Amino acid sequence: MKSIKMAKQAIKDYPNKEIYMIGLLVHNKMVVNDLQNSGIIVIDDWKRSRLDIVKEIPKNSVVIFSAHGTDRKIIEYAAQNNLIIIDTKCEWVLETENLIYDYLNLGYEIIFIGKHNHPETIALTSINNDKIHLVTCIEEVENLKLNSDLDIFVTNQTTLSIIDTDVIYKKIKEKYKNSKFKNDICDATLVRQKAVLDLNPLEIDLLYVVGDERSNNTLKLVELAENKGIKSIRINSKEDIKLSEIKGVDTVAVTAGASTPSIIQNEVIKFLESIEDN
């Protein structure tokens, strides 16, 4: 992943400087622990604003901003205060951010479909607290008090469920006729979700989803599989597999969250294959 490579490159480029990571680079504790063991100082305090955290970082230090995105005002503040910036923002988040700015400049109100307290949602909705309206479910759409004649642009967090997002957008369109929608679920998330939706519950007895408990796209894969009637278990790595879970199971499938390194997923597959061989 680009963000992980950038963080590791920062360690090489700035060997004599303190390197801080604001929030979790990606939602995968194994990746974050590896970077922390390499000397990066991780500050993951969701109760405090990222601006307040940045204000306490010593000048001339290196600051790594996570792949989930960071409010531009915070990055500008960091630059103005002599911090070396490594912005690992995902290209899909950047595309959504640019769209939001474009439509705000055109005078649109923005409805953002996302998850409360998710770093990506916080970063993108903070662009304009007055013009961007966060909804996470149909009930919150019903509670919106926007003028029905307004031009409205609807977009979303990049790691949501394609099914949930579609249901919420249909409710928005029903309420606000002048709304237009750009689904910004990232390719990495979309491909994985479609693969799970294509699984046949009559052919799959168990699905392992390799990913962190804080990874929204990982949890959505579990949810999609369960809704199809496929037993699904989230694991961090092969060490989490219990032999009792696969006793008497004929067919096991494996997928992984977008922030899960392929090496970890491959280790799970090889482990399951070794059990089958035995």
- Separation of alpha carbons 127 and 78, rounded Å: 17
DSSP string, 45-84: -TTS-HHHHHHTSPTT-EEEEPTT---HHHHHHHHHTTPE
**Residue in 76, 120, 142, 213 annotated catalytic:** 120
| 152 membership: H or E segment, kind and range | strand 152-156
Alpha carbon distances (Å) from 19 to 48, 92, 119, 162, 194: 19, 25, 20, 36, 38
Beta bridge partners of 232: 207
- DSSP assignment letter at 257: -
Known active-site residue 120? yes
- DSSP assignment letter at 42: E
User: Alpha-carbon dihedral of residues 103, 71, 111, 180, nearest 10 degrees?
Assistant: 30
Catalytic residues: 120
